[in-house]
Amino acid sequence: MLIEWYIFAVFILSSFLQTTTGFGYAIITAPLLALVLDPKDTVMITMLTGLIIRLMMMKTTHHDGSFKAISPFLITSILGAMIGAYCLRVINVDLLKLFMGGILLIFTFLLWKNYHVTIRHHTFAKAIAGGLSGFLATTTSINGPPIILYYLNAKAEEHARVLRGNLTRYFLLINLVSIILSYMAGTLKVKELWVILLFSIPALAIGFYLGEKLFHRINAEIFKKIALCMVVVSSVVLIFKAVS
């Protein structure tokens, strides 16, 4: 029963972060769930529940952002997701833990430092970010960091609500594509996960409600730093479990 309450709390925390900042759902959910669940099941659960929270968010962000703004990422995202779906079929579980933990540590460091490079060719940069995001979506479910890093480095002058709306649209679409590709690849087994999915809905709703209520009141940057600290700890534990 303790594990169930732990999973419930993870869904509340990650949906709260997603609602207040527009990203961060998978980067919190995946490593924390992988500590108590099978890594491949974790990837599928994170994708499925991520779709649910983004559908919830579309209700409040439908006036913010546009699908046109995120379209340059999508073609390479789909290609990357197709390659990733195949890789997940053949990858060893311990290797997946190492890969997930390593990717998380790298991106957490970059996000913490607000790492910047000068982008001269935005179309090419979007293609690379989209492809990497798609690949990570179907292998680890952690598809956000490449897109976030692009926006940080592009220095796009977007209002927080518009950026949140654009990110919600992108993650909604790539989540949907990733779920379809994973089902076709045989890595998505809903019959084995439906109990956790049902269990997640009230937790996601609580996190979403709190996030909407506190969107303009909390210091999102401080909350992001706290969340990233949790990611570092869980990633290190994940790597330790893989090599021990």
CA angle 36, 80, 19 (to 5 degrees): 55
Contact criterion met (CB below 8 Å) for 135 and 84: yes
Tell me what pLDDT residue 223 has. Answer: 65
Tell me what pLDDT residue 235 has. Answer: 81
Instruction: Return d(Cα 99, Cα 90) in angstroms, integer.
Output: 14
Contact criterion met (CB below 8 Å) for 23 and 148: yes
| Nearest in space to 150 (alpha carbons), one of 172, 109, 121 | 121
This prediction has a pTM of 0.82
Residue 115 has which token pair?
């790492």
Tell me what pLDDT residue 8 has. Answer: 96
Instruction: Return d(Cα 124, Cα 72) in angstroms, integer.
Output: 10
Tell me what pLDDT residue 236 has. Answer: 83
Instruction: Return d(Cα 71, Cα 62) in angstroms, integer.
Output: 16
Tell me what pLDDT residue 66 has. Answer: 84
The residue extents of the domains of the chain are 2-243
Instruction: Return d(Cα 37, Cα 176) in angstroms, integer.
Output: 22
Q: How confident is the prediction along the chain (244 residues), in pLDDT tens digits per residue?
A: 788 999 999 999 999 988 887 777 888 898 889 889 988 899 999 999 999 998 988 888 778 778 888 888 999 999 999 999 999 888 887 888 888 888 888 888 887 877 777 778 888 999 999 999 999 899 888 888 888 888 877 765 556 678 778 888 999 999 999 999 999 988 888 777 888 899 899 999 999 999 888 777 767 677 667 767 877 877 887 788 778 7
